[in-house]
Structure 1
Amino acid sequence: MTFHLHTMSKSIEAAHGASFLEELNTKWNDHTKALQMIRDILMYMDRTFIPSTHKTAVHELGLNLWRDNVIHSSKIQPRLLNTLLDLILRERTGEVINRGLMRNIFKMLMDLGPSVYQEDFEKPFLEVSAEFYRAESLEFIECSDCGDYLKKAERRLNEEIERVSHYLDAKTEVKITNVVEKEMIANHMPRLVHMENSGLVKMLLDDKFEDLGRIYNLFRRVPDGLSTIRDVMTSHIRDTGKQLVTDPEKSKNPAEFVDTLLEKRDKYDRIISLAFSNDKTFQNALNASFEYFINLNPRSPEYISLFVDDKLRKGLKGEKEEDIEIILDKVMMLFRYLQEKDVFEKYYKQHLAKRLLSGKTVSDDAEKSDNQTEDRMWLNCQLYVRSSDHITLVPILVGDYPGRLMGTADLRATFSKWSESLACVKGKNVLQKEPMSKDIGEDDAFSVNDKFTSKLRKVKIGTVVAQKETEPEKQETRQRVEEDRKPQIEAAIVRIMKSRRVLDHNNIIAEVTKQLQSRFLANPGEIKKRIESLIERDFLERDDSDRRLYRYLA
Structure 2
Amino acid sequence: AVLRESEKFYKTEAQRLLATCDAPEFLRRVEVRFQAEKSRTDHYLHSQTGTPLRKILEEHLLIDNLSTVIEMPNSGLDPMVDLDKVEDLNRLYRLFETVPPGLPTLRRALKASVLRRGKEINQASACTENGEATDADPDKAETETGKVNGKAKGRAGGQPQTLMLALKWVQDILGLKDKFDRLEKEAFLCNREIESALHEAFEDVVNLNDKAPEFISLFIDENLKKGLKGKTDVEVDIVLDKTITVFRYLTEKDAFERYYKNHLAKRLLYGRSVSDDAERGMLAKLKIECGYQFTQKLEGMFQDMKISSDTMQAYRKHLENTTAPNVEISVTVMTSTFWPMTHSGATCVLPEILTKSSKSFEQFYLSRHSGRRLKWQPSLGNVDVRARFKARKHDLNVSTFGLVILLLFENLGENEFLTYEEIQSTSMIPHGDLKRHLQSLACAKYKILKKHPPGRDVQPSDSFSFNDDFTCSMQKIKVSTVSAKVETMEERKETRERIDEERHYQIEACIVRVMKDRKHMTHNDLVIEVTRQLASRFQPNPQGIKKCVENLIDREYLERCEDRKSYNYLAQKASNSPPRLVVAWGN
Match of 1:517 among 532, 535, 542: 535
What is residue 113 of structure 2 aligned with on the other side? 236
Contact conserved, 1:396 with 1:406, CA < 8 A, in 2? no
2:328, 2:468 → 1: CA distance? 22
Match of 2:300 among 364, 375, 384: 375
Contact conserved, 2:389 with 2:469, CA < 8 A, in 1? no
> Which structure 2 residues correspond to residues 481-496 of structure 1 after superposition, within 5 A?
481-496=499-514
What is residue 88 of structure 1 aligned with on the other side? none
Please state how far the C-alpha of 1:522 moved relative to its aligned partner.
1.2
2:182, 2:485 → 1: CA distance? 32
> Which structure 2 residues correspond to residues 49-128 of structure 1 after superposition, within 5 A?
124-128=1-5
Q: 1:436 to 1:199 in 2, by over 3 A?
A: farther
Q: 1:446 to 1:227 in 2, by over 3 A?
A: farther
Residue 298 of structure 1 aligns to which amino acid in structure 2? D
1:402-442: CA deviation from partner (whole Å, max 9, x where unpaired): 337445432333344562423469643435679855x9999
Identify which range, 423-432 or 157-166, moves more after superposition: 423-432
Match of 1:403 among 345, 354, 361: 345
Please state how far the C-alpha of 1:549 moved relative to its aligned partner.
3.6
Contact conserved, 2:558 with 2:568, CA < 8 A, in 1? yes
Please state how far the C-alpha of 1:141 moved relative to its aligned partner.
1.0
1:50-99: CA deviation from partner (whole Å, max 9, x where unpaired): xxxxxxxxxxxxxxxxxxxxxxxxxxxxxxxxxxxxxxxxxxxxxxxxxx
What SS does structure 2 have at the residue aligned with 1:249?
coil
1:324, 1:443 → 2: CA distance? 48
> Which structure 2 residues correspond to residues 163-242 of structure 1 after superposition, within 5 A?
163-168=40-45, 173-242=50-119
1:471, 1:361 → 2: CA distance? 31
Identify which range, 165-174 or 496-505, moves more after superposition: 165-174
1:471, 1:443 → 2: CA distance? 28
2:385, 2:24 → 1: CA distance? 68
1:172, 1:250 → 2: CA distance? 66
Match of 1:138 among 15, 28, 34: 15
Match of 1:249 among 127, 135, 145: 127
Q: Does 1:333 align with 2:245?
A: yes
Match of 1:412 among 386, 402, 408: 386
What SS does structure 2 have at the residue aligned with 1:223?
coil
What is residue 11 of structure 1 aligned with on the other side? none
What SS does structure 2 have at the residue aligned with 1:411?
strand
Match of 2:171 among 245, 256, 259: 259
What is residue 266 of structure 2 aligned with on the other side? 354
Identify which range, 356-365 or 282-291, moves more after superposition: 356-365
Match of 2:257 among 345, 358, 362: 345
2:543, 2:460 → 1: CA distance? 36
- Greater RCO, 1 or 2 (C-alpha within 8 Å, sep 6+): 2
Q: 1:125 to 1:189 in 2, by over 3 A?
A: same
Long gaps (5+) in structure 1 = 1-123, 381-390
What is residue 270 of structure 1 aligned with on the other side? 182
> Which structure 2 residues correspond to residues 456-475 of structure 1 after superposition, within 5 A?
456-460=474-478, 469-471=487-489, 473-475=491-493
What is residue 365 of structure 1 aligned with on the other side? 277
Q: 1:182 to 1:528 in 2, by over 3 A?
A: closer
1:220-264: CA deviation from partner (whole Å, max 9, x where unpaired): 111210111111111222233233324423985111111111111
1:227, 1:138 → 2: CA distance? 23
2:463, 2:62 → 1: CA distance? 72
Please state how far the C-alpha of 1:129 moved relative to its aligned partner.
2.4
Please state how far the C-alpha of 1:514 moved relative to its aligned partner.
2.3
* CA RMSD, 1 decimal: 3.4
1:203, 1:184 → 2: CA distance? 20
Match of 2:199 among 250, 266, 287: 287
Matched residue count: 419
Q: Does 1:161 align with 2:161?
A: no
2:460, 2:533 → 1: CA distance? 42
Contact conserved, 1:321 with 1:363, CA < 8 A, in 2? no
Identify which range, 489-498 or 368-377, moves more after superposition: 368-377
1:386-408: CA deviation from partner (whole Å, max 9, x where unpaired): xxxxx989666585213374454
2:26, 2:172 → 1: CA distance? 33
Please state how far the C-alpha of 1:147 moved relative to its aligned partner.
1.4
Q: Which structure has the larger Rg?
A: 1
Contact conserved, 1:145 with 1:198, CA < 8 A, in 2? yes
Contact conserved, 1:137 with 1:183, CA < 8 A, in 2? yes
TM-score (norm 1): 0.67
Identify which range, 225-234 or 524-533, moves more after superposition: 524-533
1:518, 1:500 → 2: CA distance? 21
Residue 513 of structure 1 aligns to which amino acid in structure 2? T
Long gaps (5+) in structure 2 = 130-161, 285-294, 309-325, 347-378, 399-439, 572-587
1:335, 1:357 → 2: CA distance? 25
Q: 1:306 to 1:406 in 2, by over 3 A?
A: farther
Contact conserved, 1:358 with 1:463, CA < 8 A, in 2? no
Q: 1:470 to 1:414 in 2, by over 3 A?
A: farther
Residue 217 of structure 1 aligns to which amino acid in structure 2? R
Contact conserved, 1:164 with 1:173, CA < 8 A, in 2? yes
Residue 375 of structure 1 aligns to which amino acid in structure 2? G
Q: 1:337 to 1:407 in 2, by over 3 A?
A: farther
Q: 1:456 to 1:306 in 2, by over 3 A?
A: same
2:454, 2:504 → 1: CA distance? 42
Contact conserved, 1:394 with 1:411, CA < 8 A, in 2? no
Q: Does 1:535 align with 2:553?
A: yes
2:33, 2:454 → 1: CA distance? 74
What SS does structure 2 have at the residue aligned with 1:362?
coil
What is residue 118 of structure 1 aligned with on the other side? none
What is residue 366 of structure 2 aligned with on the other side? none
Contact conserved, 1:254 with 1:468, CA < 8 A, in 2? no
> Which structure 2 residues correspond to residues 403-442 of structure 1 after superposition, within 5 A?
403=345, 405-406=379-380, 408-417=382-391, 419-421=394-396, 422=398, 423=440, 427-431=445-449
Please state how far the C-alpha of 1:507 moved relative to its aligned partner.
3.7
Contact conserved, 1:316 with 1:324, CA < 8 A, in 2? no
1:327-358: CA deviation from partner (whole Å, max 9, x where unpaired): 11111111111111111111111101111122
Residue 410 of structure 1 aligns to which amino acid in structure 2? D
What SS does structure 2 have at the residue aligned with 1:541?
strand
Residue 76 of structure 2 aligns to which amino acid in structure 1? G
Match of 1:553 among 551, 570, 580: 570
Please state how far the C-alpha of 1:183 moved relative to its aligned partner.
2.1
1:366, 1:466 → 2: CA distance? 28
TM-score (norm 2): 0.64
1:540, 1:435 → 2: CA distance? 65
Residue 257 of structure 2 aligns to which amino acid in structure 1? E
